[in-house]
Amino acid sequence: MNALIEFLSFSDPNVRYVTIGAVLLTASSAMVGTFTFLNKKSLVGDAIAHAVLPGICLGFLLAGTKNPLLLIAGAFLTGWISLMLIDLITNKTRIREDAAIGLILSVFFGIGILMLTTIQKSGNAAQSGLDHFLFGKAAALVGQDLLVFSIVGIIVVIAVLFFFKEFALLAFDKDFAVSIGLPVRWIQWVLTSLIVLAVVIGIQAVGVVLMAAILITPAAAARFWTDKLSILFLLATLFGAISGLSGAFISYTAPSMPTGPWIVVVISTIAFFSFFFAPRRGVINRFIRQRSIRKTINDENVLKIFYQLGENSGNFHSPRTITDLVRWRFYNENLLKRYLRRLVGQGYLEQNNNTWQLTEAGKIRAQRVVKIHRLWELYLTTHMHIAPDHVHEDAETIEHLLTPELEARLEAILGYPKVDPHQSQIPYADN
C-alpha cells in the first residue's frame, strides 16, 4: 500500500515520465486499434510495428543521435510505405493479404535488423539504447521524449475523435459511405496514418515485437462486453490506459521487471478475463445459456411426447410409463428419468409410483410446442416451397425458439390454419 501511495504521488520525475508516457501511449494505441480491429486488419499492426524499425535506424543515421522527432519521422515513413506495399501487392497480384503482410513484415524487419547491427558496430556512442525499440523500455523515456510522444499522441487522439463517425461508417458499411459521397479513399489514408503514428509512439513502451498486442488486444477484450461502438471505444481506451498504468506500477515496485512486457501481460489478463467472464459473450455465461437452452429443449420434447400420446388416445392426462415414452421416442432411460423428475419439480407433470401424467400447465406448454412445430412446417411448405418430407427437422429446432410475438405473426401470415402439411390438427389454446 505504501508503494502504491508513493507511486501515485508522482513525486519522482522518472516515475512521472514513465507513467504518463505509458498511459498515453497505450490509450492512444487502443483508440486507433479499435478501428483496426473492427476493420478486421489485426495483422496490419504487427506488420507496421516490424516495418518501422528500418525507419528508426534511418532517422538515427540522418541525425547522428536519438532525436525523437527524426526517429518518429523515419518510423512513420517506412511504416506508411509498408502499408502501401501491402495494398499494392494485394490489389495487383494474386497474393492474399495475409501472405502480403507476412512478406512485408519479414523483409522490412530483416532490413531493420541489418541496419541496427551496422549502427551498433559503427562506434557511435549515441546509438546506445537504440535496440530498446525492439523490445521496448518505457523506463528510458525522458522529458524530451515524453514531450514529443505526448504531442504526437494527443494529435492521434484528437484525429480519432474528429473522424470517429467516418471511421465507424467505414468499419460497418463501406458501400454506404461510398454511396453518400464520402471521400472513402482519403479517410482510409487518414486512418492508415493514425495507425502508423500509434505504432510509432507505442514501440517506445513495448517495442516492435509486442506492439500488435497493445494495438489490438484492448479492442478485442472490450468486444466481449458490449455491442455498442461508443462503449467499445471507451472500454478499449480504458483497458489500454489501465494496462499502461499497471505496467508502470509493477516496474516501479520491482525494478528488475520491464514495463513493456508487463503492459502486455496486464492487457492479456484483462482479455482472458473478458473471454471467460463477460456477461453476454463470455465463455462461462455462454455455456450456462447453452445448458439452459438444452434443458428447455429436452423438457419440451418430453412434454411433446405426452401430448402426442394424448392425441392418439384422446386423453391428455392419462398416466404414462417409461416404456410408453421410450416406445414413442427413443431415450436413454436414466436421462429420461432425470427429465421427468425435473418436470415434476416444475409442476408440468405429476408422478404416481412409476407413472407420470401431464398437469394442466404441462398440457398448455406441450400444446404450444406442438402448435409451433406444425405451423412452421406449414410455413416452410407454403411460403418457402419445401417438400413436406423435408421440413420436420427444421421445425424440431424452431419449436423451442420462437417467441410469442413471432408465434402470433406466424399465425396471422398463415391465416390461423387448422391442419399442417401432414393433415395433423394444429392445436390452439382454446381447442
pLDDT, one tens digit per residue, over 345-377 is 999 999 998 899 999 999 999 999 999 999 999
User: Average pLDDT, stretch 143-149?
Assistant: 67
Question: Would you say 214 and 267 are in contact if contact means Cβ atoms under 8 Å apart?
Answer: yes
- Domain boundary among the residues 254, 281, 308 is at 281
Shared domain check, 169 and 24: yes
Quote the pLDDT of residue 370. Answer: 94
Confidence band, pLDDT 50/70/90 cuts, at residue 12: low
The number of C-alpha atoms within 13 Å of 406 and in the hemisphere containing its C-beta is: 11
Residue 182 has pLDDT above 70, yes or no: yes
In angstroms, the CA 114 to CA 282 distance is 44
Q: Give me the pLDDT at residue 202, please.
A: 73
5-10 long-range contacts, CB within 8 A, separation 24+: 7/248, 7/249, 7/252, 7/253
Residues 216-258 have pLDDT tens digits of 899 999 999 998 888 999 999 999 999 888 888 887 787 677 7
DSSP string computed for 198-258: HHHHHHHHHHHHHHHHHHHHHHHHHHTT-S-HHHHHHHHHHHHHHHHHHHHHHHHHSTTS-
248 with 376, same domain: the answer is: no
Read off φ and ψ for residue 202, nearest 5 degrees: -80, -30
Q: How far lies 122's CA from each of 57, 201, 212, 314, in Å?
A: 12, 26, 31, 97
Q: Which long-range contacts (CB under 8 A, 24 or more apart) does 341-344 make?
A: 342/295, 342/299, 343/299, 343/302, 343/303
Q: What is the pLDDT of residue 10?
A: 64
Average pLDDT taken over every residue of the chain: 85
Kind plus residue range of the DSSP H or E element containing 412? helix 404-414
Distances (CA, A) of 307 to 33, 321, 357: 55, 14, 10
Which is more confidently placed, 297 or 2?
A: 297
- Total number of domains constituting the chain: 2
All three cell numbers of 197, joined, read 503514428
Q: Are residues 147 and 84 in the same domain?
A: yes
Burial profile 42-68: b = 16 or more Cβ within 10 angstroms, e = fewer: bbbbbbbbbbbbbbbbbbbbebeebbb
Model pTM score? 0.77
Rounded Cα distance, 8 and 255, in Å: 16
**Termini Cα distance of the chain:** 71
Listed residue (278, 241, 183, 222) closest to 37, CA to CA: 222
| Cα dihedral across residues 89, 118, 73, 18: positive or negative | positive
User: Residue 130: which pLDDT band, with cuts at 50, 70 and 90?
Assistant: low
243, 261 contact by CB (below 8 A)? no
pLDDT (mean) for 265-279: 91
Q: Are residues 264 and 318 in the same domain?
A: no
What CATH number is given to the structural domain containing 233? Answer: 1.10.3470.10
Which residue is listed with cell 547491427? 117
Of 281, 305, 330, which residue constitutes the final position of a domain?
A: 281
- Looking at the structure, tell me whether residues 288 and 273 fall in a common domain: no
Band (430; pLDDT cuts 50, 70, 90): low
Q: Tell me how far apart the alpha carbons of residues 139 and 189 are, in angstroms, rounded to a whole number.
A: 33
pLDDT value for 141:
58
**pLDDT > 60? residue 140:** no
The whole-angstrom separation of Cα 266 and Cα 149 is 22
pLDDT at 260 over 60: yes
Once rounded to an integer, what is the mean pLDDT over residues 28-42? 86
What pairs with residue 425 in β-bridges?
419
pLDDT for 415? 92
Q: Which residue is it, cell 392425441?
A: 311
Band (145; pLDDT cuts 50, 70, 90): low
With 60 as the cut, is the pLDDT of residue 198 above it?
Answer: yes
Q: Is the pLDDT at 139 greater than 60, yes or no?
A: no
Report the CATH number at residue 379: 1.10.10.10
For 380-406, the pLDDT digits (tens) are 999 999 998 898 889 998 999 889 999
Among 230, 264, 281, which residue terminates a domain?
Answer: 281
Query: Of all residues in the chain, what percent carry a pLDDT higher than 70?
Result: 89
Q: What is the mean pLDDT of residues 57-86?
A: 83
Q: Which of 114-123, 178-187, 336-345 has the lowest mean pLDDT?
A: 114-123
> Beta partners for 250?
none
Q: Does one domain contain both 263 and 297?
A: no
Q: Which three cell numbers stand for residue 284?
A: 462461462
Instruction: Check whether residue 364 and residue 423 sit in a common domain.
Output: yes
Residues 27 and 73 in one domain: yes
Give the per-residue pLDDT at 204.
67
| Pair 259, 305 in one domain | no
Q: Which domain holds residue 398?
A: 283-431
88-102 tens-digit pLDDT: 898 888 888 888 888
Distances (CA, A) of 430 to 123, 371, 373, 415, 417: 94, 12, 18, 16, 14
What pLDDT does 176 receive? 85
- Please report, as a single letter, which amino acid is at residue 217: T
pLDDT(142) > 60: no
Q: Which is more confident, 428 or 139?
A: 428
Q: What one-letter code names the amino acid at 60?
A: F
- Dist CA 405 CA 12 (whole Å): 63
| Residue entry with cell 461502438 | 229
C-alpha cell, 278: 463477460
Of 283, 259, 260, residue with least CA distance to 271: 283
Residue 431 has pLDDT above 60, yes or no: no
Verify that 7 and 155 share a domain, yes or no: yes
Which band of pLDDT confidence, cut at 50, 70 and 90, is reported for residue 4? Answer: low
- 357 bridge partner residues: 350
274 and 303 fall within a common domain: no
Task: Please determine, for residue 154, whether its predicted confidence score (pLDDT) is greater than 70.
Answer: yes
Predicted confidence at residue 18, as pLDDT, reads 75
Residues 177 and 257 in one domain: yes
Bridge partners (DSSP) listed for residue 419: 425
